[in-house]
Amino acid sequence: MLENLIQWLQEHMFPCFYKQTFGISCPMCGFQRSLIELLKGNFMESFLQFPALLPLLLTSFIFIVLKLLKSPKAKVIVQVILLFDLIIMIITCLYKNIY
């Protein structure tokens, strides 16, 4: 079943409008390929494609847990973690476009 999902994802990848229009990578470039590699179990290849994927997935998990626990500080905690994720995405984007 997982192989069918991976194959479907590979056949239905969205093109990057930003890259097609401006000719440079956007901050999310590599997300789809990274997710596919993660589903295949290729953690290093997934990280190399889009380093922010694992932190974003971890942020989503933390957000869900904090919401279920009805933590009063959930919003602040998730905002700080998302800021960290955004920094990773910007650094990666700059690196891809410079090198």
Split at pLDDT 50, 70, 90, the class of 75 is confident
Average pLDDT, the chain: 94
- Please give the model's pTM, rounded to 2 decimal places: 0.84
CA separation for the pair 16, 24 (Å, rounded): 10
**What is the pLDDT, as a whole number, of residue 74?**
87
**Alpha carbon 82 to its chain's center:** 11
Region 62-89 average pLDDT: 92
Split at pLDDT 50, 70, 90, the class of 36 is very high
